Structure 1
């Protein structure tokens, strides 16, 4: 029997890389097919449009990223340490991407969302869904820290949204300036947002 085609997988991997390193509007179906080594006819066999592929791509990327987040935000890890680990992983990943691509790339979901939020409702809705799921990791850690008396955070959902926006804002600045140093004080700023006491 012949080897099962991986054309669909290659298309998903290609669109993820092209969207993260470039832009949605600047990425054509032809470019995606060239990167994936797939003929255009095969593209439309698997996906009805570039939007459909982009949605499949971000879903795949999020599924993979959640495996890491499930470990980082494991309940066996102290609540605040979950957040600090997440920030350190942000910094590490951005360093790896800069070494590979020559630029700081920031958060792929926010970069894509900022571009398509007013032009592609389907893709925007998927990105909103992913971001809402991500915020819940912060919310869980903040709620646990509050219950343990480490911080005062009676409204964990609101504080989680603020903290998430702060971290993503720094990632965006790092991308715009192409400078990883914007991420160096991420934990220090988060401590102030959360009201963490010295020594915690």
Structure 2
């Protein structure tokens, strides 16, 4: 499953990332991580203090990857509207849900300040980044003066995260796609 050049600790982190996304914290056993990583029984404890330490490394990596993917479109070319549109329309595995957002539904992650911190930081970063882009659009006259950047950013995040939930519940991407289309219609600059 993994290339020969990947270190054992990297395989463990990647395996934990995948399993946390699929099964959540409780459903991710050390045995499952080791099996998926193709690592020996003592490997996890050689590289990490235990499951919580490995989970934290995996959650941090997932959060970092999500921020990188979001920044690739939010910091890309185009007007503020085009960049928000690119973020909303970027390729996602909608039926799997958001690997960071799904962690907010895991009671063990939420109960642990340490495990929850990368999730909170990532969602706060996304909110602030989107609010800045909306403010930029207002400053350029692209978005109306009545729009409140923080509220629009919250709406974008809620549309994406809620869209994941609705898509997973129905087994179809239709609800996600409809929410995104509706939000884009509301945000679209008026023709002058």
Is the TM-score greater than 0.5? yes
Distance 2:190 2:63 in 1: 34
What secondary structure does 2:93 align onto?
helix
CA shift in 2, pair 1:49/1:158, >3 Å? farther
CA-to-aligned-CA distance 1:115-155 (integer Å, 9 cap, x gap):
13543222112211111112222112211111111213563
TM-score, normalised to structure 2, is 0.85
Give the corresponding residue for 1:99.
Answer: none
Distance 1:56 1:94 in 2: 22
1:120 partnered with 2:112: yes
What secondary structure does 2:12 align onto?
helix
Give the corresponding residue for 1:93.
Answer: 92
CA shift in 2, pair 1:193/1:54, >3 Å? farther
Answer whether contact 1:107 1:172 (CA < 8 A) is retained: no
1:76 partnered with 2:77: yes
Superposition CA RMSD, Å: 2.3
Give the corresponding residue for 1:105.
Answer: 96
CA shift in 2, pair 1:41/1:171, >3 Å? same
Give the corresponding residue for 1:181.
Answer: 174
TM-score, normalised to structure 1, is 0.82
Which residues of structure 2 form unaligned runs of 5+?
Answer: none
- Structure 1 outlier segments of 4+, above 4 Å: 197-200
CA shift in 2, pair 1:9/1:106, >3 Å? same
Which residues of structure 1 form unaligned runs of 5+?
Answer: 96-103
The alpha-carbon deviation at position 59 of structure 1 amounts to 1.7
